[in-house]
């Protein structure tokens, strides 16, 4: 089966969030299952330089009203074919993928990702300039959402699948964008691209794609109603029969405590006492008391309202006073950064914070913490809860999105759920989070129960191969 996987970012070339992790891992897993997958991306400067010198021009693209462009091809490590759209006026620039350095959106994002969508649609049609034509076009998030609309406007092509990674980002632009990207005005209607007087790239994809997926089964249900539908809940409910939630996977080669180069001592489910070396290293790195018996809570996160870190600030002090330790790595909203640094100042030896992001240190937090916290108000999938379980670190998390789908709650008392891997709470309140943390601290005191929880988490299959097989079944049903 031939699949064109269109995305705006992918590791290891360029990343702003979880979309890049999916785009870097899922196509490779699909290829391991026998699919002929090719990745299509914008030709950002980092993509054209990061993929090496093996580029060849495979097509000149004249697609007015877009600027002239070229389609380049190369092969990434692991054997994944990469197609990149070289268009310097749109993609060769300083700053971020979607924003200027000052944090403002690029004013021509509609044209930039309109071109990405247009090229994806072209390659999915019989008029494709390539000798290779996909059986299915897999689009991802709003940046490729116009591709199904372009196909609908031109009479069709290969079936399309749109994956919604985060519905909060929808690619909303003024109506003049229709002319700027060359879509006919008759698509500006309620059952088209119109969205409350503007147009939405994501709504276009939801409206016109053959099938829809999102990144966890629970999130697929949540986005069909308020508040997580973000204005699209009616359309998503209408298309509910075409919507499937497939839980993301993780890179089990990179996130493996038995081979992780960032840990002072490697371990697996049969050698969990070695995990204590990472706890000591984490305590030293953040200036925490070197107490092996103190329960150590870890967090690696964007410090934002969505991630629920304000709930942690509101309830953590009594726990710190009773002996809990806290290790935080992240950055985000200034008021939350200040709150966590203030916490570390008030509780020296108990709370430690490192602002920013450090990949190696994130591995140490996952391994060194006794348990991990993710109090998200919403979480389409989440990855850290999977990393934590793989590292024998039970998770305290809210029952939303992929957190609910990937964590088995321990129940009311230690040992009541034999295969438990964490502690879930429902309401996004400090009181509910505090109750879950109390349960975690209580379970930590029962070493036999705790070891069983650790091993249950480490036994979970969060590989991309499992997700790839589910995607392939869905692809086959469309083709």
The pLDDT tens digits along the chain (479 residues) read: 999 999 999 988 998 888 998 999 999 999 999 999 999 999 999 999 988 888 999 999 999 999 999 999 999 988 999 999 999 999 999 888 999 887 799 999 999 999 999 999 999 999 899 989 999 999 999 999 999 999 999 988 999 999 999 999 999 999 999 999 999 999 999 999 999 999 999 999 999 999 999 999 999 999 999 999 999 999 999 999 999 999 999 988 889 999 999 999 999 999 999 999 999 999 999 999 999 999 999 999 999 999 999 999 999 999 999 999 999 999 999 999 999 999 999 999 999 999 998 989 999 999 999 999 999 999 999 999 999 999 999 999 999 999 999 999 999 877 778 899 999 999 999 999 999 999 999 999 999 999 999 999 999 999 999 999 999 999 999 99
pLDDT at 418: 87
Per-residue tokens: 433 = 């989070």
Residue whose structure tokens are 């705006």? 8
Cβ-Cβ contacts under 8 Å for 368 (sequence gap 6 or more) = 275, 278, 279, 280, 281, 282, 283, 296, 298, 327
How far lies 36's CA from each of 21, 75, 211, 251, in Å? Answer: 20, 13, 20, 20
Using a pLDDT cut of 90, give the percent of the chain over it.
90
DSSP count for the chain of H helices, then E strands:
18, 18
- On the question of a cis peptide bond just before residue 274, with omega within 30 degrees of 0, the verdict is no
Q: Would you call the peptide bond into 12 cis, given omega within 30 degrees of 0 as the criterion?
A: yes
Note the pLDDT tens digit of each residue in 284-331: 999 999 999 999 999 999 999 999 999 999 999 999 999 999 999 999
Any idea which residue has 């899922």 for tokens?
A: 26
The C-alpha atoms of residue 423 and residue 16 are separated, in whole angstroms, by 29
- The CA distances from residue 35 to 147, 256, 467, 471, 472, in Å, are 22, 26, 14, 11, 8
Instruction: Give the helix ranges, DSSP H, for 226-333.
Output: 233-238, 275-285, 309-321
Q: Give Cβ neighbours of residue 118 (< 8 Å, ≥ 6 apart).
A: 63, 66, 146, 147, 150, 181, 182
Using CA of residue 187, residue 9, residue 400, residue 467, what is the dihedral sign?
positive
Edge-to-edge, what's the strand order for the sheet holding 422-425?
Answer: 351-355, 325-332, 296-303, 371-374, 395-398, 422-425
Residue 455: closest CA among 200, 273, 211: 273
Taking alpha carbons only, the member of 233, 227, 26 closest to residue 140 is 26
pLDDT tens for residues 426-472?
A: 999 999 999 999 999 999 999 999 999 999 999 999 999 999 999 99
């Amino acid at each position: 089966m031939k699949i064109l996987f269109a995305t705006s970012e992918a590791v290891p070339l360029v990343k702003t969030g979880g979309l890049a992790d999916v785009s870097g891992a899922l196509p490779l897993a699909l290829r391991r299952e026998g699919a002929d997958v090719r990745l299509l991306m914008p030709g950002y400067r980092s993509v054209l330089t990061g993929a090496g010198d093996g580029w060849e021009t495979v097509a000149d693209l004249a697609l007015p009203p877009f600027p002239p462009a070229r389609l380049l091809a190369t092969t990434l490590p692991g054997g994944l074919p990469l197609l990149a759209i070289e268009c310097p006026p749109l993609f060769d620039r300083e700053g971020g993928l979607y924003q200027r350095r000052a944090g403002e959106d690029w004013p021509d994002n509609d044209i930039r990702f309109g071109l990405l969508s247009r090229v994806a649609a072209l390659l999915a049609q019989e008029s494709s300039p390539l000798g290779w034509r996909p059986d299915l076009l897999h689009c991802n998030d709003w940046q490729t959402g116009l591709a199904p609309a372009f196909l609908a406007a031109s009479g069709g092509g290969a079936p399309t699948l749109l994956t919604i990674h985060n519905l909060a980002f929808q690619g909303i632009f003024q109506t003049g964008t229709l002319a700027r990207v060359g879509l006919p005005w008759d698509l500006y209607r309620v059952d088209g691209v119109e969205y409350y007087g503007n147009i939405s790239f994501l709504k276009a994809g939801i409206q016109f794609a053959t099938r829809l997926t999102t990144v966890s089964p629970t999130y697929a249900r949540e986005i069909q109603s308020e508040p997580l539908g973000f204005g699209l809940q009616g359309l998503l409910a209408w298309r509910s029969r075409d919507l499937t939630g497939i839980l993301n996977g993780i890179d089990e080669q990179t996130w493996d405590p038995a081979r992780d180069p960032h840990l002072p001592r490697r371990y697996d489910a049969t050698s969990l006492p070695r995990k204590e070396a990472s706890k000591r290293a984490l305590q030293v790195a953040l200036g925490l008391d070197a107490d092996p018996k103190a329960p150590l809570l870890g967090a690696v996160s964007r410090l934002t309202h969505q991630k629920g870190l304000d709930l942690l600030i509101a309830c953590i002090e009594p726990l710190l006073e009773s002996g809990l330790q806290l290790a935080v790595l992240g950055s985000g909203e200034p008021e939350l950064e200040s709150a966590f640094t203030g916490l570390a100042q008030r509780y020296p030896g108990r709370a430690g914070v490192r602002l920013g992001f450090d990949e190696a240190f994130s591995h140490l937090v996952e391994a060194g913490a006794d348990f991990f916290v993710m109090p998200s108000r919403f979480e389409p999938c989440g990855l850290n809860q999977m990393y934590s379980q793989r590292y024998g670190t039970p998770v305290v998390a809210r029952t939303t999105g992929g957190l609910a789908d990937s964590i088995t709650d321990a129940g009311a008392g230690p040992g009541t759920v034999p295969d438990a891997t964490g502690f879930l709470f429902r309401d996004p309140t400090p009181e509910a989070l505090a109750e879950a943390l109390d349960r975690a601290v209580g379970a930590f005191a029962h070493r036999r129960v705790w070891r069983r929880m650790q091993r249950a988490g480490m036994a979970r299959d969060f590989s991309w191969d499992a997700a790839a097989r589910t995607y392939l079944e869905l692809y086959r049903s469309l083709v």
